[in-house]
Amino acid sequence: MARTKKKQQAVPAPAPGSRDEAATSYGTQQLPDALELARTRVLCGPDVNIHTTSTIAASQWASLGVDAAFDLEKFKKGFQVDITRYEGYDMEFEMKGVSCALANSLRRIMISEAPTMAIEHVYIVNNTSVIQDEVLSHRLGLIPLKVDPRLFQYKAKEDAPSEQNTIVLKLKVECRRLPNSGMENDKVYSRDLQWLPEGSEMPDETSCRFASSQAALVPEDVRPVHDDILIAKLRPGQAIELECHCIKGVGDDHAKWSPVATTWYRLMPEVVLLQQPRGKIAEELVEQLPGLLQLLGSGDHATVVVGDAPCSLCWGACVDKERYMPYLQLRKIKDHFIFTIESTGAWRPHELFKYAVQLMVSKCDKVLEGLQAFPARSFKT
Amino acid sequence: MSAGDAGLVNQKYALLPAFLQAKGLIRQHVSSFNHFIASDLLKIIKAKGNERVTCDADPNFYLRYTNIYVGRPSLEEDYIQTELTPNQCRLRDQTYSAPISVDVEYTRGKEVVIRKGKSGAGAILIGRMPIMLRSDRCVLTGKSEEELAWVGECPLDPGGYFVVKGTEKVILIQEQLSKNRIIIDTGTPALAARHSHGAVVASVTSSTHERKSKTNIVSKHNRLMLKHNAFTEDVNIVIVMRAMGVESDEEVLQLVGTEGPFASLLTPTLQHCKEEGVYTRQQALDYLAGKVKGSGRPASPAGGGGFTRRTRSRVDEARDILANVVLCHVPVVQFDYQQKVTYIAVMVRRMLYAKLDPSFIDDRDYYGNKRLELAGGLLALLFEDLFKRMNADLKRQADSSLSKANRATQFDIAKCIRTDTITFGLEHAISSGNWTIKRFRMERKGVTQVLSRLSFISAVGMMTRITSQFEKTRKVSGPRALQPSQWGMLCPADTPEGESCGLVKNLALMTHVTTDEEEAPIARLAHIMGVEPASLVNQSELRERGCALVFLNGNILGVHRRPKYFVRSFREMRRRGRVGEFVSVYMQHDTVQIASDGGRVCRPLIICDRGVPRVKDEHLQLLRMGKWNFNSFLHSGLLEYLDVNEENNSLVALYEADCGPRVTHLEIEPFTILGVVAGLIPFPHHNQSPRNTYQCAMGKQAMGNVAFNQLNRMDTLLYLLCYPQRPLLTTKTIELVGFDRLGAGQNATVAVMSYSGYDIEDAIVMNRASLDRGFGRCIVLRKYGTSLKKYANRTQDRIVLPAAAVGPASAPRPAKFRVLDRDGIAAAGEVLTQGEILVNKQMPTNTRDPVSNPAAMPDTFYRNAPVSWKGYTGGEKCVVDKVLLTSNDDCSCVVKVLVRHTRRPELGDKFSSRHGQKGVVGSIWSQSDMPFSERGLVPDLIMNPHGFPSRMTVGKMIELLGSKAAVCTGRFHYGTAFGEPAGLADKVESISQELVEAGYSYSGKDFLHSGITGEALEAHIFMGPVYYQKLKHMVLDKMHARARGPRVVLTRQPTEGRSRDGGLRLGEMERDCLIGYGASMLLLERLMISSDQFEVQVCTHCGLMGYKRHDGLAVCPLLRSPEHIASLRIPYAAKLLFQELQSMNIVPKLLLAEA
């Protein structure tokens, strides 16, 4: 989250300086400053946020001579994605110049519509642990698997399991007391899951028969993303033997298929000095908002400048809000998203994002298709 | 918290864990039972009427009990003695009991036989005693956690209950008015209304081992009269005193007191005595003899064994009644009434005081006047009754054997002792809860209850429950109200709502209930300390200024001339350990009362000298180092127990800062005024009071972990949570009780906001992804059981795989036998579907007539009596969890099948936080639709903010804040009641500070985006974790609808209730609506056509219902012709009514008219 935010020094503030760089100026006419502020910024008060809405009709400001319609060229000019952080399965990037609806759609698609592989059917041969069969199966299902779901097909209920739509994993552990009074396998971890590329070892029961080995199909061995997820604890003499069949699914059906732990965005914050506080008030402000503001000068000549420190909700500590309201304003830029993707491991986050965009495109195509069919049908009569 | 006293304030909390460690959570039950086993039993067999069994036929015969022993819980099976464990009893439907044995001495023919057992057991077994878990005799006592695990017991289980026939039974604590104490009351309200004031009644309920009686002194026309059941009407109190030997009026006055207006107040009574012409003792006795109930026939004392009395004169009888029945707890030795007369005088005196000054009237609801009866006391009553019954049986046998002139063998009474009377008597009483004690004509129902194992807390909460003897239906507020004297003794929050509100109470955390203590040593000590026996001083000296009467357990012990000094030094003796720690001594009006009786509630407090607490840092240091325990504090005179009455003589400071010079005691911790169940609530002192009460009721319905041995139990119904958590915001009580190890809830991230309309009226919106990940997931285990009975003709039930299912492997089994294993019992791990058979039991068709070869009967001899599984609607799948095959006490085979069902929360399931805020799931939304914060946090559930203003559960808000800070800092936060000054609860200020440091708003509010539109929300949302409980009420168990279905045979109306697939009733009020609306056809359709329409043939001439003739034509019952018959439709119930009326000679006639 370590992000520097834009410095704003303009003292009478209403004109947002990002207008030129946001590059979504509309038509030839400019909106009045107040409206422009309301259009591009969320004003965060201590109690309420105003101008949160971003739904705009193309004709909203037609009377002012401003065209609010979407324009591809302008979009192309203004749109920008910068990756700011990429650590393992987590990615943070900034996306500028898109509407909130689009950003949200991408978020929603990633959570609930991007597919992954997850354990769905568990055939339990033996389970003498204290964990009940259903609970054990539920735990197994939530283990993220490191396998590219694009290599597989969806399996409908009536489909027979095959190497095209099913991955088979085996778990066979037995806890024993070791001669040195220790215990073996007293904890069952996700690393104990074994991939069976040749398919089920008990095809009669599971009716899962592979035509060919999956080893050729899948470039890497299938294994859980994390090796140290605790599945169960055993005591000497207890054993678990089971076979897990993984299928492809989406997060909408069950959270275990969601490719992300979560993904979200926040809006780019912006701190604006409405009026330069001086003297005592300036000192107080700096004290109340350490890091956010920096003190210049001292005594009666003290002034402040907006610092570099991160700020997510800088009204936090500022208890006497009423007093500082005239000097300071916290805003958020409506079309500047700081997006975070925390992938569970099946997808690389950037690939996932790309996939979400593609899915969005195909959804739009579908709508267009529908729209094309629409006039033909309705006007033929 | 100033720096100076911070030390003690922060550390004295350490006394509480030490107290609970020493005494246990439910010490009152265990100590009462231990006392019963250790001393009451011996006292019972040594009691006057019980010790010897004699015989009318042979004056030389006797049987004397010399000692009694209760062994360890054990079981003899096939002549092998094995130790019993409680869990074994639960599983095998046995009783956890130990043998009771006695040493005896008796005559056999001419010789005296002395039989003594050895090694802690008696010679003769007389029965079995159910053993309270964790009592001294229980196998669990003193075991470590690991050892407990080996016997299959949970270390956190408090014990204090019995296992009878496999079910856990608690003997609830019974509250009653104290015995043997004078209570000045205003009498019945009706009486009080008639006499504007002065309608005072002095009443004493005397109770001894042999007898219970109630004596009242009432005021009638300004005369004081004795009201007692033994007399036909009220008798003048002066006459009674005269009959006891106080012949002169002066003496009467001296006894009562000569000061003030007593003489004038007594005048009407003395006058009346004169009018009746009673001057001498003999006259008084004659007078009383005329009023004795039963006119000459001696009232045989109950349980006396039925020996005949010589007929006596009525005067003798009156004398006897005065000695033994009236105020029977005051001893009269050889008709020396001195003590009793003084006692009556004290009663009169207190009554007269109350007449003059109403402030002397006692409050019945005052908790110092209450005694709690516990398991030990109740069992003692029952045991003595059974023991007497056994002795009466022995005597009857001795009578009948010894009266025969020539016997073949010598009569040996030891061989006649049967164990059944006591064993079954105790077992039956505990398992049914009906306490029938013949000698007191006591018949109480519902004394025991099945221990609720819904959650750990419900089980613990049940052990601290107190029920009152008041009728629930009476609409009196007094006994239900919270009495100030209950402070620190009873939990102010934990009481049910509704009819038993305030009558069922719960003990506070540190309350102890006393057991009986020996009186004689205390009396001896008191005399040594200067109490002059009342019989040795002049009557006038009794009332001398500065003197005070000293009472011991309600009986007059004597007079002390410096009562304050006496009380002070007596207390000092107690602090030094010379007197039992639970003996209380206090001044009441102008008397000194010493109480050592059982059933008083008391609690420990720190002693202060002129406002300086005796407990110092160094003592607490010793405690921390493990060199001291709680008892060391007690024995060193730093702490003492105070009962409710003695608290009245003390000034107790709540905090050390309040310790002024007059303060005598300091509280250990203020939150101990709450009980175990209320102790789970974080920040209860910030909540509106009824919310805490609601939570106390709901905490008992929360699912979670029941006990560590929960998976080895076979309860009828068990609710478990898949992933229980310990609350992020805990309290000290939670840690002390062990709730943090057996949680019943989960920390859910709650957003307090209005999001969609599916959260109105307390509904909550849930995140589907959270549910997918296991939030609120629970397991319901239900037991199905049967036992294989053996019959008189040596046939028995059997379990087999049915022939249809055995057949060749290729042939498919009938569906309902699918899950059966080869032994005819469902196999563990099988998935069940509706209507499948779990145990294929078969019963013999003939159980009476002897059969030649009962072991090998043909299949036709048996009929099916299977245990089948009903199942849930909607294709819910259950699994056979485990199967138990064992034998019970009757050596018959018991089969128990546990069926498991795992459920995830669904629409309509009930959840609640710990602040009495319950709600049902109104909607389940996918994660993408839920709002998300700037940190990516998505709430698990959304709660409507309208739940707050009217409920005023500020505690919940603080819990949310504190939990949020706990998550941020990684430290569990505390919310102990009243804990802020002592540092046992985090302050909102410091919590806010932590939140700000973690980068959150101080207010706990977050900036959220809508998950649906993606836009920022206008409001800042109060969001954070709150501990949520899943309650046992689930839609799956309740939903019910029917179109058509079964009907009742008698009325042909639809059946009632979900279990019978019943119809949904259109009730009276709904009917009224339809009538008011005028929807007559709908009314007809609902009430008749869709219910129990029936077509009858009615004769238009005679108006009677006809019947069908052999040729199928309906005929009139009188005319016997098919003419004039009309057919009409009426409800079957109406037709039934007509016929029922006819059967009692009332003829309803149907007069028909053309419509």
Digit-coded pLDDT (tens) for B928-985: 999 999 999 999 999 999 999 999 999 999 999 999 999 999 999 999 999 888 889 9
Whether residue B786 sits in one domain with residue B769: no
pTM over 0.95: no
- For residue B158, the distance in angstroms to the closest alpha carbon of chain A comes to 24
Q: Measured between CB atoms, which of A52, A105, A317 is closest to B1017?
A: A52
Whether residue B545 sits in one domain with residue B650: yes
Closest among B616, B686, B655, B634 to B987, alpha carbons compared = B686
Contact between A266 and B881 using a beta-carbon 8 Å cutoff: no
Task: Provide DSSP, B938-994.
Answer: --SEEE-GGGTTTT-BHHHHHHHHHHHHHHHHTS-EEB-TT-TTTTSB--HHHHHHH
pLDDT of B305? 44
pLDDT of B413? 84
Q: Are the C-beta atoms of B943 and B759 separated by less than 8 Å?
A: yes
Q: Say how many CB pairs under 8 Å bridge A and B.
A: 119
Q: Are the C-beta atoms of A255 and B927 separated by less than 8 Å?
A: yes
B828 to chain A: which residues are within 8 Å by CB? Answer: none
Is the CB of B1000 inside 8 Å of chain A's CB atoms? Answer: yes
Tens-digit pLDDT profile for residues A340-349:
999 999 999 9
Closest among B879, B886, B789 to B838, alpha carbons compared = B879
Does B785 reside within a domain?
A: yes
Does B1042 reside within a domain?
A: no
Q: How far apart are CA B861 and CA B796, in angstroms?
A: 11
| Measured CA angle at A249 (ends A246, A251), to 5 deg | 125
pLDDT at residue B35 greater than cutoff 60: yes
pLDDT at residue A379 greater than cutoff 60: no
pLDDT at residue A112 greater than cutoff 90: yes
- What's the CATH code of the domain at B582? 3.90.1070.20
**DSSP code at position A46:** S
Q: How far apart are CA B1001 and CA A317, in angstroms?
A: 7
pLDDT at residue B512 greater than cutoff 80: yes
Q: Which band of pLDDT confidence, cut at 50, 70 and 90, is reported for residue B304? A: very low
Q: How far apart are CA A101 and CA B1012, in angstroms?
A: 9
Does B275 reside within a domain?
A: yes
pLDDT of B98? 92
Closest among A268, A302, A309 to A283, alpha carbons compared = A302
Contact between B1015 and A47 using a beta-carbon 8 Å cutoff: no
Q: Measured between CB atoms, which of B769, B996, B1009 is closest to A255?
A: B769
B829 to chain A: which residues are within 8 Å by CB? Answer: 124, 127, 133
Does B792 reside within a domain?
A: yes
Q: Are the C-beta atoms of B602 and B511 separated by less than 8 Å?
A: yes
When pLDDT is averaged across residues A185-203 and rounded to a whole number, the result is 92
Whether residue B306 sits in one domain with residue B229: yes
Does B246 reside within a domain?
A: yes
Whether residue B1100 sits in one domain with residue B976: no
Whether residue B121 sits in one domain with residue B33: yes
Mean pLDDT is highest, among B162-166, B403-407, B1116-1120, for: B162-166
Whether residue B194 sits in one domain with residue B151: no
A130 to chain B: which residues are within 8 Å by CB? Answer: 711
When pLDDT is averaged across residues B758-783 and rounded to a whole number, the result is 93
pLDDT of B299? 46
Query: What's CA B905's distance to the chain center, in Å?
Result: 33
Q: How far apart are CA B141 and CA A189, in angstroms?
A: 38
pLDDT at residue A24 greater than cutoff 50: no
Q: How far apart are CA B797 and CA B847, in angstroms?
A: 10
pLDDT at residue B463 greater than cutoff 70: yes
Domains, chain A, in order of start with CATH, read 115-257 (2.170.120.12), 275-326 (no CATH)
Tens-digit pLDDT profile for residues B1045-1094:
999 999 999 999 998 889 999 999 999 999 999 999 999 999 999 999 99
Tokens of B811: 């042939």
Helix, strand, or coil (residue B996): helix
Query: Residue for token digits 């399996």?
Result: A155
Whether residue B923 sits in one domain with residue B884: no
Does B147 reside within a domain?
A: yes
Alpha-carbon dihedral angle through residues B451, B453, B454, B459, given to the nearest 10 degrees: 70
When pLDDT is averaged across residues B810-815 and rounded to a whole number, the result is 68
Q: How far apart are CA A338 and CA A96, in angstroms?
A: 9
Comparing A28 with A23, which gets the higher pLDDT? A28
When pLDDT is averaged across residues B1010-1021 and rounded to a whole number, the result is 92
Whether residue B279 sits in one domain with residue B211: yes
Buried b (16+ CB within 10 A) or exposed e, B831-867: ebbbebbbbbbbbbeebeeebeeeeebeeebbeeebb
Does B335 reside within a domain?
A: yes
- For residue B1018, the distance in angstroms to the closest alpha carbon of chain A comes to 5
- What's the CATH code of the domain at B981? 2.40.270.10
Whether residue B144 sits in one domain with residue B66: yes
B928 to chain A: which residues are within 8 Å by CB? Answer: 107-108, 111-112, 251
Range of lowest pLDDT (B106-110, B376-380, B992-996):
B106-110
Number of structural domains (chain B) is 6
pLDDT at residue A315 greater than cutoff 60: no
Q: Which band of pLDDT confidence, cut at 50, 70 and 90, is reported for residue B179? A: confident
A344 to chain B: which residues are within 8 Å by CB? Answer: none
pLDDT of B728? 95
Contact between A112 and B1016 using a beta-carbon 8 Å cutoff: no
Whether residue B278 sits in one domain with residue B228: yes
CB neighbour list of residue B261: distance below 8 Å, 6 or more residues apart:
B356
Is the CB of B932 inside 8 Å of chain A's CB atoms? Answer: yes
Q: How far is CA B1011 from CA A56, B933, B1122, B1123, in A?
A: 19, 10, 78, 79
Q: How far is CA B518 from CA B45, B553, B580, B598, in A?
A: 17, 11, 9, 10
Contact between B934 and A262 using a beta-carbon 8 Å cutoff: no
Answer with the one of B329, B360, B391 that is the final residue of a domain: B360
Tens-digit pLDDT profile for residues B318-351:
888 888 888 888 888 888 888 888 888 888 888 8
Q: Are the C-beta atoms of B555 and B592 separated by less than 8 Å?
A: no
A267 to chain B: which residues are within 8 Å by CB? Answer: 1016
Does B1 reside within a domain?
A: no
Mean pLDDT of chain B: 87
Comparing B807 with A113, which gets the higher pLDDT? A113
When pLDDT is averaged across residues A309-314 and rounded to a whole number, the result is 50
Pick among B749, B927, B993 to test the A interface (most A CBs inside 10 A) = B927
Q: Which band of pLDDT confidence, cut at 50, 70 and 90, is reported for residue B1? A: very low
Whether residue B913 sits in one domain with residue B766: yes
Tokens of B1082: 């709908």
Q: Which domain covers residue B57, as residue numbers?
A: 27-175+372-463
Whether residue B915 sits in one domain with residue B892: no
Answer with the one of B424, B442, B463 that is the final residue of a domain: B463
Pick among B1015, B1017, B1021 to test the A interface (most A CBs inside 10 A) = B1015
Answer with the one of B360, B387, B406 that is the final residue of a domain: B360
Q: Which band of pLDDT confidence, cut at 50, 70 and 90, is reported for residue B16? A: confident
Closest among B818, B824, B834, B839 to B897, alpha carbons compared = B839
Catalytic residues of B: 762
**DSSP code at position B1132:** H
